[in-house]
Amino acid sequence: MILLEYRPRLISDQLYNYLDDFRGFRHRFRYSYSFELDWEREKVVARKMDPAFALLKKEVTFFLERLDTMDDLGDH
């Protein structure tokens, strides 16, 4: 059964994981009292930026389209 009164999920688990990696970097960078970051590890996170941004655009677009569809269904 589909419950139309609930909004669709905004982000996938994959996008959540990307964003969590970026949050972790921000936390390490902001709260590190020494500037000794593991740059090899941070490069791995940085390489995720382009695919994460593309996925974010795709998922937000899909989310907004679903909201429009739900609104159209509610009009009838």
Kindly report the three-state secondary structure assignment for every residue of 28-41: HHHHCCCCCCCHHH
Q: Which is nearest to 58 in space by CA: 20, 6, 12?
A: 12
Q: What is the pLDDT of residues 22-42, one digit of tens each?
A: 888 776 666 665 667 677 887
**What residues make up the domain containing 27?**
13-74
Residue 1: which pLDDT band, with cuts at 50, 70 and 90?
A: very low
Does residue 54 sit within a domain?
Answer: yes
Look at residue 6 and tell me if it is in a domain.
no
Examine residue 2 and state whether it is found in any structural domain, yes or no.
no
**How far does Cα 44 stand from its chain's mean position?**
17
**Helix-helix angle 13-31:49-74, to 10 degrees:** 130
pTM (predicted TM-score): 0.68
**Is position 30 within any domain?**
yes
**Residue 5: pLDDT above 90?**
no
**What stretch of H or E contains 53?**
helix 49-74
Does some domain include residue 70?
yes
The arithmetic mean of pLDDT across residues 53-63, rounded, is: 96
